[in-house]
Structure 1
Amino acid sequence: MLNTLSISNYRSLVKLVIPLGRLNLITGANASGKSNLYKALRLLAETAQGGVVNALAKEGGLEACFWAGPEVISDRMRRSEIPIQGGPRSKAKRLRLGFTGDDFGYSISLGLPKPSNSAFSLDPEIKRECIWACRSGSSTYRPASSLIDRDTSLIKIREKRNWQVMSQNIATFDSIFSQISDPDKTPEVITLRDNIRHWRFYDHFRSDMDAPARHAQLGTRTPVLHHDGRDLAAALQTINEIGSHEALADAISDAFPGAHLKIAIKEDARFAIEFYQYGLLRPLSGQELSDGTLRYLLWVAALLTPRPPPLMVLNEPETSLHPDLLPALARLIISASERTQVWVVSHASRLIAALEEHEDCHSIRLKKELGETSVVGQGMLDEPHWVWPDASK
């Protein structure tokens, strides 16, 4: 489980360090930085997929992702080690992302390359990557707890009390996760990489009339719903067979009293939804379902997965749902948080209220002042201690 997330110099997230729980609710007004926090977490996930440079390119390049707030620097920012372009303490600009978990911490620092004639001269470079051990009582980075230290093209690994050079020519666009795979010398790299690769993001379920989820699809066992929901019928049938049939039935009746669901398997092995609603003489097909009903079924399939991930991130799950469905959705999310760490990014007051009734809900409300995102009610003393390995650069 992630215990702390830290982001530096990414859009409005100038210096953000937040503690995390089992169920995390991210709220705030429009333009407060919720989307930036979500995107930063996705960038962290891309490090283990080998796609962080490409992901930054899709956002307009590293330069476009740097904080672009006012030139006047607040006292909070002046006390930090954050490099601010044009400020009196300006240094080489870095975008930094990091987290601590139960066993390990990880951080990555990205910067602009030196000017060159290369066609890829605007690609960001990985300047520093570190993995350290998280011990009880202290999870922040300390040189003594460091296990893997990558400085530009040089990778060192700790063996007992000594450092050993593992590579001196790693490409500056490659993460250590894609370059190190020795289970004996660097088991922590493999553990973290596999953990991050299993993070699951849901932020865009199609519900238009041409959405694949509305139509019969070739079905195979589907313990993990596709991020766009294309294999909904197969995922629901998988829950019926190897997941919790009772939980699925309860989730349907909780939102639609008297309703139940059946998956029809056609002769050509295609799976289709049949939704039986109280008072109707025949089931509704996927094409006949309202956007809200279809989206709720998609969330049911995602949250009742028989193969829960280490982390599941839901971005505005209230989209297209009638407010009366939000308490049932909240109960689904709370139940899922008992099996996996959950993030919910939302601005729906009814969903927020239902989630915050749960005693383990960790509510994080964001605000923005002078272009900088911060956590409401979090002062300097409330902020978890965090040290960047390359804070002096």
Structure 2
Amino acid sequence: MIRTVAISGYRSLRDLVVPLGSPTVVTGANGSGKSSLYRALRLLADVGQGRVVQSLALEGGLPAALWAGPEQVTRRMRRGEVPVEGQVRRGPVSLRLGFAGSDYGYAIDLGYPVPDKSAFDLDPVVKAETLWVGERLGRSNAIAERRGPAVLLRGDDHGWRRAFDHLSPLDSMLTHAADGRDGFELLTLRERLRGWRFYDSLRTDRDAPSRRPQVGTHTPVLAADGADLAAALQTIREIGDADGLDAAIADAFPGSRVEISSTDGFFETTMRQHGLLRPLRAAELSDGTLRYLLLAAALATPRPPELMVLNEPETSLHPDLIAPLARMLAAAATRSQVVVVTHADALAAALAAEAGAVELRLEKSFGETSAADVDAPVWRWPER
């Protein structure tokens, strides 16, 4: 389980180090930095996919993603005694992401490339990367390091050896130096990152794909937009916890049952409700009902990930569905580490009652996000 997440220099997250539990609930007012924390976790996952540079480009490039305040924030600035203004920069431009668990820790440092008249001189490059054993980086527990174009691995004799010599500054050592024979720890971490799952764009609009029949195939993992809902639900019925799924639906909609119709290989979600003579097709369901079914399919997956992060799952849900949603999340947290980013205090309270959720209440002061009433874990960034 991930115990610590650290972000530095990303949007309002000037220097944030927070603990994670399971489940963890991230709350706070609008603009407090919840979305930035969510996106930072996605960027970490993108490192494993080899697309962190492209993801930052889609955010507007490194200049748009960097902390926009002064490098040094003084007490006099905070008190309004002196104007907020830039000063001569002492350190390099840096966007750093990292996490640590009881087994491994990892951090990456991104910055600007050396100017060379390239049209891509705003693309970030990797300045430093380190993989270590344990929760804190120390002097002797690093097992993989990036030094310029070289990747060094620590051997059984505790000495370092070069495993890769020609790594592009645009690439992570996780994607190019991971090997089952030499670099097994890098390979393990890469696959773990690739297994992280995020849900923030489950569609329930009139034209949502989940409202229409879709080609049915085994689907142990619901798509990010929920397009394969019917196939995902049928997969749970056949190889997953069908009773748990039925119980979660009955918990929210007493007397109701979800069924999957199949015609010429096309699956469609239908729902029988008490008092109706025929099942309702997905196209007829309300946004809130459909969203609950999408969340049920995501959370009851027969292939639970190491980490599942949901952004505002309560959107479109009636207040009466918050408690059933919390119970579904609590059940999922017994199989995966679950992080929920939410505006709903009721959901945070329900998760605390159901599963003893760790709450991270974010607040912003002077443009900088911090976690209220949280003792920041000890953290050390790798040096460039």
The TM-score, its normalising length taken from structure 1, stands at 0.93
Is the 1:53–1:124 contact (alpha carbons within 8 Å) kept by the matching residues of 2?
A: yes
Deviations 1:308-356 (A, max 9, x none): 0000000000111111111100100000000000010001122122112
User: SS in structure 1 opposite 2:292?
Assistant: helix
Please name the residue that 1:265 is paired with: 262
User: SS in structure 2 opposite 1:144?
Assistant: coil
Please name the residue that 2:327 is paired with: 331
Q: CA RMSD in A?
A: 1.8
**Structure 2 CA distance for aligned equivalents of residues 126 and 228 of structure 1:** 31
Is the 1:232–1:298 contact (alpha carbons within 8 Å) kept by the matching residues of 2?
A: yes
**Structure 2 CA distance for aligned equivalents of residues 278 and 85 of structure 1:** 64
Deviations 1:234-263 (A, max 9, x none): 100111111011101101110001111111
Please name the residue that 1:18 is paired with: 18
Partner residue of 2:189 out of 192, 209, 216: 192
Please name the residue that 1:119 is paired with: 119
1:206 to partner: Cα distance: 1.0
1:224 aligns with 2:226: no
1:163 aligns with 2:147: no
1:146 aligns with 2:142: yes
User: SS in structure 2 opposite 1:210?
Assistant: coil
Partner residue of 1:300 out of 296, 301, 306: 296
CA gap 1:230/1:122 in 2 versus in 1, 3 angstroms: same
Gaps in structure 1 of 5+ consecutive residues: 79-83
Please name the residue that 1:365 is paired with: 361
Gaps in structure 2 of 5+ consecutive residues: 79-83
State how 1:71-82 maps to structure 2 within 5 Å: 73-74=73-74
User: SS in structure 1 opposite 2:186?
Assistant: helix
1:374 aligns with 2:370: yes
- Look up the equivalent residue of 1:387 and give its one-letter code: R
Runs of 4+ in 1 over 3 A off after TM superposition: 74-78, 84-89
User: SS in structure 1 opposite 2:261?
Assistant: strand
Is the 2:7–2:40 contact (alpha carbons within 8 Å) kept by the matching residues of 1?
A: yes
Please name the residue that 2:247 is paired with: 250
1:387 aligns with 2:380: yes
Please name the residue that 1:47 is paired with: 47
- Look up the equivalent residue of 1:255 and give its one-letter code: A
- Look up the equivalent residue of 1:318 and give its one-letter code: E
**Structure 2 CA distance for aligned equivalents of residues 304 and 141 of structure 1:** 35
- Look up the equivalent residue of 2:159 and give its one-letter code: N
Deviations 1:83-132 (A, max 9, x none): x9934662111110000023110000000011111222221110000000
User: SS in structure 1 opposite 2:54?
Assistant: helix
Please name the residue that 1:179 is paired with: 176
- Look up the equivalent residue of 2:169 and give its one-letter code: T
- Look up the equivalent residue of 2:377 and give its one-letter code: P
Is the 1:85–1:91 contact (alpha carbons within 8 Å) kept by the matching residues of 2?
A: no
**Structure 2 CA distance for aligned equivalents of residues 258 and 121 of structure 1:** 60
CA gap 1:314/1:68 in 2 versus in 1, 3 angstroms: same
**Structure 1 CA distance for aligned equivalents of residues 76 and 117 of structure 2:** 39
CA gap 1:228/1:130 in 2 versus in 1, 3 angstroms: same
Structure 1 range deviating more: 154-163 or 284-293:
154-163
1:36 to partner: Cα distance: 0.4
Is the 2:164–2:177 contact (alpha carbons within 8 Å) kept by the matching residues of 1?
A: no
1:72 to partner: Cα distance: 6.5
Identity over the aligned pairs, expressed in percent? 52
Partner residue of 1:276 out of 272, 291, 296: 272
The TM-score, its normalising length taken from structure 2, stands at 0.95
Is the 2:149–2:166 contact (alpha carbons within 8 Å) kept by the matching residues of 1?
A: yes
